[in-house]
């Protein structure tokens, strides 16, 4: 038997489940030097840690190969979210099924009265979220006096979510001689402090390698104009055509906005955020598992505990706040030996910051351009040919219908109709404002024929504020209600930027930007007193000794908004360069 060092019932359960060998974290927690000791474990999301702590606490639960009669709980597992707690209970159920385990769940959003009745019948393992467990504890429904082992799963996330007080109350209610197992993807100072207070001579285990990314996850980064973020999302979904994809946003409002846009475009999408009830969340997850939906738009917290075997694409629509969040998000894919792809959508002004974050996290991401319409059409063609030419078994009705079609149409016409029907079922890709190569120079507007008679306008931002044509141009187009073909040369100086507008539309342009002017914004657009002074490569310093144009500002740019909009790059006061609002 390959798991001879494990209890017989658990070894049989692993074999029946298809395990040929233990994962690294599972092997480490079952070594002799870890037996019976408190454990402080660093393990990546998707590394098999649920089974790992299930195996680790076996000595505290089993009498021989079986469990004692159910009564007061012997083990307590605390998880940050409902989904993760329910997933943990499901994993432990099959692992301890042969041993006769009775497992109770106590999670927010479920029927508390039913949970209290279940606890009153007796149990072996209780799995729950901090808030609901503490509620049962204070009401007297949960007695932790017989606890032999406590597991804190994803402890770093629970502290980030503000559950320190609940965790301390639960741990203080357990016997001092209990065994404490703390699993966390990262080990920040609050985790170390918690371990120091509640663990005794903890055995430290780390299966997180130098490369922070999973070996089975391909990391990609694409730089886009902030106004193109949603278009980039659409093209990524169409290019990859993943069986299941998850898109991460920072807030519930942005989840709602992006989800509505995707549904409108024809994507089978569901949403998960803090505003959804448990019933709505269950329906959304079931739709993903049943393949009725293929895209999930979610916040970080709402996606905790999601386990979708078919998930192969993760898109960071809004950038994660740190390397740990990046790891947790991306860890939803690339599990159980399957390959996954994690894509970061990076607004141009934030590229340098993202590069530094990736370097610090030791994640090697490939910088790629956004898939173009041509790229997507080529992929569609290959996928269609592969799908149609795949061998299938046709019944008599199918063959009869095929013969009837052959009598009425040529083979070429039938094939063309099939292609048309296939393409009609898929959302159309988007043309982006700018598709400069990922590692190439910025593509600014240049002087073109037809721009001989122009009016120069100015913006009060320049190189010092990270001004770049790739986000300045979309801002000008949106606020002036013009297209990029109606903007001439863009000249970026140290402290200001000037650009050309054809004289024929200059008055209309000025009126449109004046309509959206707001007194509390920082970036101004106004008519300039002439072309920029000569300078190297078209750049220039602000004029000195010449009176400024004190005419009323025509426009002040609003802060960026919407899913994934880039945050402003800080610059010396009084002005800040900001990407355009989505």
Q: Is the pTM of this model over 0.85?
A: no
Q: pLDDT of 252-284, one tens digit each?
A: 999 999 999 999 888 999 999 878 887 888 889
User: CATH 3.30.70.330 residue ranges in the chain?
Assistant: 454-556
Tell me which DSSP letter residue 370 carries: P
Per-residue model confidence (pLDDT) at position 435: 52
- Give the pLDDT score at 259: 94
Q: Which residue has the higher pLDDT, 120 or 476?
A: 120
Q: Dihedrals φ, ψ of 318, to 5°?
A: -110, 135
Domain spanning 217-374: which CATH class is it, in words? Answer: alpha beta
Question: What mean pLDDT value characterizes the chain?
Answer: 81
Instruction: Give 433's pLDDT tier (boundaries 50, 70, 90).
Output: low
Q: Where, residue-wise, is CATH 3.40.50.300 in the chain?
A: 8-206, 217-374
SS3 content of the chain, % helix, strand, coil (to 5): 40, 15, 45
Mean pLDDT of 146-165: 88
Q: What pLDDT, in 10s, does the model give residues 398-408? A: 888 888 888 88
Say what the pLDDT of residue 519 is.
53
Residue 174's alpha-carbon distances to 135, 179, 180, 181, 503, in angstroms, are 15, 10, 10, 13, 78
């998000």: which residue's tokens?
329
Whole-number Cα distances in Å, 199 to 123, 147, 519: 25, 15, 56
pLDDT per residue as tens digits for the range 457-500: 998 888 777 787 778 888 888 888 888 888 888 888 888 899 88
How would you classify the pairing of strands 524-527 and 555-556?
antiparallel
Q: What is the reported pLDDT for 418?
A: 81
Put the strands of the sheet holding 454-459 in their side by side order.
490-492, 497-502, 454-459, 524-527, 555-556
Residue 578 has pLDDT above 70, yes or no: no
Superfamily of domain 454-556: RRM (RNA recognition motif) domain (3.30.70.330)
Q: Comparing 106 with 327, which gets the higher pLDDT? A: 106
Model confidence band, residue 544 (pLDDT cutoffs 50, 70, 90): very low
Query: Is residue 227's pLDDT more than 60?
Result: yes
pLDDT score at 521: 59
Is residue 46 predicted with pLDDT exceeding 70?
Answer: no
Closest CA to 331 of 207, 240, 224, 232: 207
Span 396-422, mean pLDDT? 84
Work out the pLDDT band at 548, boundaries 50, 70, 90. very low
Asked if 168 contacts 140 with a C-beta cutoff of 8 angstroms, the reply is no
Identify the CATH class of 8-206.
Answer: alpha beta
């Amino acid at each position: 038997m390959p798991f001879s060092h494990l209890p017989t019932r658990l070894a049989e359960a692993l074999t029946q489940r298809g395990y040929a060998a233990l994962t690294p974290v599972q092997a480490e927690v079952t070594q002799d030097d870890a037996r019976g000791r408190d454990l402080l474990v660093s393990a990546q999301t998707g590394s098999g840690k649920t089974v790992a702590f299930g195996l680790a606490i076996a000595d505290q639960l089993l009498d021989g190969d079986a469990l004692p009669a159910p009564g007061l709980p012997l083990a307590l597992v605390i998880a940050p979210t409902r989904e993760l707690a329910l997933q943990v209970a499901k994993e432990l159920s099959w692992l301890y099924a042969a041993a006769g385990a009775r497992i109770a769940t106590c999670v927010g959003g479920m029927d508390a009265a039913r949970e209290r009745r279940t606890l009153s019948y007796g149990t072996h393992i209780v799995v729950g979220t901090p808030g609901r467990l503490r509620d049962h504890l204070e009401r007297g429904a949960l007695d932790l006096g017989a606890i032999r082992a406590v597991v804190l799963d994803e402890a770093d996330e629970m502290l980030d979510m503000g559950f320190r007080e609940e965790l301390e109350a639960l741990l203080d209610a357990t016997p001092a001689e209990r065994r404490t197992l703390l699993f966390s993807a990262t080990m920040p100072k609050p985790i170390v402090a918690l371990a120091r207070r509640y663990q005794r001579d903890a055995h430290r285990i780390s299966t997180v390698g130098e490369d922070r990314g999973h070996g089975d996850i391909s990391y990609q980064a694409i730089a886009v104009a902030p106004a193109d973020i949603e278009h980039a999302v659409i093209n990524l979904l169409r290019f990859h055509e993943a069986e299941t994809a998850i898109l991460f946003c920072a807030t519930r409002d942005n989840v709602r906005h992006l989800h509505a846009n995707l549904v409108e475009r024809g994507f089978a999408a569901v949403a998960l955020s803090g505003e959804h009830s448990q019933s709505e969340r269950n329906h959304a997850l079931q739709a993903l598992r049943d393949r009725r939906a293929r895209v999930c738009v979610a916040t970080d917290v709402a996606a905790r505990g999601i386990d979708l075997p078919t998930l192969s694409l993760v898109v960071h629509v809004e950038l994660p706040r740190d390397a740990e969040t990046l790891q947790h998000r991306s860890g939803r894919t690339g599990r159980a030996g399957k390959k996954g792809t994690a894509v970061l959508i990076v607004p141009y002004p934030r590229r340098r910051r993202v590069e530094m974050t990736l370097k610090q996290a030791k994640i090697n991401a490939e910088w790629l351009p956004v898939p173009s319409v041509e790229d997507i059409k080529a992929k569609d063609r290959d996928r269609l040919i592969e799908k149609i030419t795949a061998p299938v078994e046709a019944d008599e009705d199918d063959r009869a219908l095929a013969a009837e079609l052959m009598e009425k149409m040529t083979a070429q016409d039938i094939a063309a109709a099939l292609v048309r029907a296939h393409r009609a079922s898929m959302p159309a890709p988007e043309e982006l404002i700018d598709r400069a190569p990922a590692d190439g120079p910025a593509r600014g507007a240049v002087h073109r024929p037809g721009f001989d008679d122009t009016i120069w306008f100015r913006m009060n931002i320049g190189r010092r504020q990270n001004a770049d044509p790739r986000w300045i141009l979309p801002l000008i187009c949106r606020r002036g209600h013009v297209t990029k073909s109606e903007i001439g040369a863009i000249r970026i100086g140290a402290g200001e930027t000037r650009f050309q507008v054809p004289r024929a539309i200059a008055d209309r342009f000025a009126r449109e930007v004046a309509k959206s002017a707001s007194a509390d914004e920082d970036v101004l657009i106004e008519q300039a007193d002439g072309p920029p002074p000569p300078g190297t490569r078209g750049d220039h310093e602000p004029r000195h000794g010449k009176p400024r144009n004190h005419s009323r500002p025509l426009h002040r740019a609003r802060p960026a908004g919407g899913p994934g909009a880039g945050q402003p790059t800080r610059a010396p006061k009084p002005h800040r360069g900001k990407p355009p609002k989505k």
